[in-house]
Chains A and B, each alone.
Chain A
Amino acid sequence: MRKVMKLEGEICANCAAKVQAAVEKLPGVNEASVNAMTYKFTLDAEDAAFDAALEQSIKIFADIEPDCEVVA
């Protein structure tokens, strides 16, 4: 399953890269992209693992850049 979500707040390109790298390591994630230009978060994960991966991703965002939030 692939979902594109909007980001709200502020995230710098460096943090975006860090979040992306961390999300890509989550189990079941095929591809992830955090775009600091378009403020879009794309998550592509196995259907079974998607919800867990999304939940983890939101936590990763909060850890690395608390100013940036994922809005579905």
Chain B
Amino acid sequence: MNKKQKKKRNRILVALAIFVVFEAMEVVGVFDALPGGLWLEFAAFLVPYLIAGYDVLAKAWHGITHKQPFDENLLMSIATIGAFALVFFPEAEPHMAEGAAVMLFYQVGELFESYAVGKTRRNIADMMDIAPDFATIEEGGQLVQVDPASVAVGSTIVVKPGERVPLDGVVIEGSSQLDTSALTGESVPRMVEAGAQVASGCVNMTGVLSIRTTKAYGESTVQRILDLVENASEKKARTENFITRFARYYTPIVVGLALLIALASPLLLGQSWSSSVQAALVFLVVSCPCALVISVPLSFFGGIGAASRKGILVKGSSYLEALAQVNTVAFDKTGTLTSGTFTVVDIVAAPYFSPDLVLSYAAHAENYSNHPIAQSVREKFGKTIDASKVAEAEEISGEGVKALVEGRAVLVGNAKLLERAGVSAEEYASTGTVLYVAIDGVYAGRIVIADTLKDDAAETVSSLRNAGVKRIVMLTGDREEVAAEVAGQLGLSEYHAQCLPADKVAHVEGLLTQAGDRGKVAFVGDGINDAPVLMRADVGIAMGALGSDAAIEAADVVLMDDKPANIAKAIGIARKTMHIVRQNIVFAIGVKVLIMILALPFIGIANMWLAVFGDVGVACLAILNAMRTLRV
């Protein structure tokens, strides 16, 4: 509780104590025994009423003088003043105690409301607080802490265990485990050593790292995420807008009804004035739309917070709403379902050669090449390459490399390269890239390199199907055979190969019309050419870490850890949030309408107590319900 809330709490406690004393006196009959007891009682209950509610009265007055009536303060003021005023109807029971109690409980509810909302807000804000406070740089042999924004690109910073990495960079010294969970939701720490790229926002866990910064603070990962989150809640969901619009009409209508009842029911229906005024007061108390307008955005905020804890950044409640209705998901292939990097998937040696030997010679020959294929061969080889064994290395563009390895002439490349050297290699048909290796003019074997499926690609497809997604489509710029193979492995019946960016947009537009009015289409992609498709789909989902900035900018949802399986999780969170939102709307409107019906003069069951429950009680329950979105 903050200072203001504590002050209010103390005020309520004092008022409550005084109220209890007077109420006890009233029950025992002290007031009745005294001369003019009714007026003494009136004055007595006015004390706790004013202590608890003077600010409400003041604000109501402020509202009237500033031409902004119809807020809850005015409604509560009229209702409670009305309760006190019933003393002027000779035939009515006195309701002063009720008036004071209503104000007291209204204030208790308000206090709880502000406490609960504040707490939820802080919880979510803390969760998203990944901003580093300082960067440590070396200056004249001393370590000094400076503002991360003041560190120039290319500076060397030192990050100690327990500290947050303040800027993106490359490790130049030291090794450590990094906790990336704030960025990705991934709980397994990442091992880094010299040469590794590190993103700002990670927490260094074990060793001291020296990092050469590669980006200024304004463009660092952490700043980018914060920008996304900051601007997140501006795109409001349809449901949210509906509720604020609803509130705009609801309150004046109910106030109008209250007036109508107070006047029409005694004049036209012959009900007593006091019971009619009482019913009208009940209407006024339940006319506050607060339970609704507070619980709906709070639920969305909680849902967005819960998603971000899983490494799923949702840029606004409107996208959470759309996610819940997704029935069609279109995937880009490379970098989304597949890892987007080449890996050696197969090595087949010719007679008299061993696969290890073929790989070793190929890796040495490729030593000086920066081509991704060469990198994947070296990676598969895994051992350090002795550069002194390699001589006369030459890269032949579009064909491969040739080099002397341990004095033996090695050719690594496509069939054309070997053919020109007079080596006959059996052509092998594959969806991947095939490297043929010849040693001293003899065909030694082949290495097959392909893009591999992400570990969770199959899980993604099955979890989406389980989540009720009817149609899953793969759109790729890759060749037909490759697309067919990947689709086959994942059990996808629908795919489109050799798509240009414009083709992808056209396909997604087709899906949009076929998804129906209530179904939404999500597109998942990572590359720069996906930006137009990401914008066109109802929900654009981008891969965060690998993805290009343009794609992340254009997307509505960003998966920080690049795991497509999180899409089903995001849909799950979105549906749960929408469910809670709907529960709150139905519950709050339902209870209020019910109380209004029960309060009608000729029914007359609902009293002020019930009305106060209908206002703050319902608001509190709706807030508690909304807080469930945080837990997933």
Which residues of the partner chain B approach A21 to less than 8 Å between Cβ atoms?
248
Contact indicator A14/B230 (Cβ below 8 Å):
no
Interface residues of A in 1-30 (CB under 8 A from B): 4, 10, 12-15, 17-18, 21
Bound complex: CA A36 to CA B66 (Å): 22
Which residues of the partner chain B approach A64 to less than 8 Å between Cβ atoms?
63, 66, 68, 71
Interface residues of B in 110-167 (CB under 8 A from A): 113-114, 121, 125
Contact indicator A15/B234 (Cβ below 8 Å):
no
Bound complex: CA A14 to CA B4 (Å): 21
Would A17 and B233 be within 8 Å (CB), given that A37-B121, A37-B297, A39-B121 are in contact?
A: no
Contact indicator B233/A37 (Cβ below 8 Å):
yes
Q: Does B451 contact A (CB under 8 A)?
A: no
Interface of B is mostly: helix
Q: How many A-B residue pairs have CB under 8 A?
A: 60
Which residues of the partner chain B approach A63 to less than 8 Å between Cβ atoms?
66-68
Q: Does A42 contact B (CB under 8 A)?
A: yes
0/1 per residue, A33-71, Cβ < 8 Å to B? Answer: 101111110100000000000000000000110100000
Would A18 and B68 be within 8 Å (CB), given that A12-B290, A12-B294, A13-B294 are in contact?
A: yes
Contact indicator A13/B230 (Cβ below 8 Å):
no
Interface residues of B in 252-304 (CB under 8 A from A): 289-290, 293-294, 296-298, 301
Q: Count of B residues near A, CB < 8 Å?
A: 28
Which residues of the partner chain B approach A13 to less than 8 Å between Cβ atoms?
244, 290, 293-294, 296-298
Contact indicator B293/A17 (Cβ below 8 Å):
yes
Contact indicator A12/B121 (Cβ below 8 Å):
no
Bound complex: CA A4 to CA B63 (Å): 27
How close is B285's CB to chain A, nearest CB, in angstroms? Answer: 15
Contact indicator B68/A42 (Cβ below 8 Å):
no
How close is A61's CB to chain B, nearest CB, in angstroms? Answer: 11
Which residues of the partner chain B approach A37 to less than 8 Å between Cβ atoms?
121, 233, 297-298, 301
Q: Which chain A residues have a beta carbon within 8 Å of chain B's beta carbons?
A: 4, 10, 12-15, 17-18, 21, 33, 35-40, 42, 63-64, 66
CB-defined A-B contacts under 8 Å, sample of 19: A4-B230, A13-B244, A13-B297, A17-B247, A17-B248, A17-B293, A18-B71, A35-B233, A36-B297, A37-B233, A37-B298, A37-B301, A38-B125, A38-B301, A40-B230, A63-B66, A63-B67, A64-B66, A66-B59
Q: Which chain B residues have a beta carbon within 8 Å of chain A's beta carbons?
A: 4, 59, 62-63, 66-68, 71-72, 113-114, 121, 125, 230, 233-234, 236, 244, 247-248, 289-290, 293-294, 296-298, 301
Task: Rank and list the top 5 A-B pairs by shortest CB-CB distance, nearest first.
Answer: A17-B244, A63-B66, A13-B293, A37-B301, A14-B293
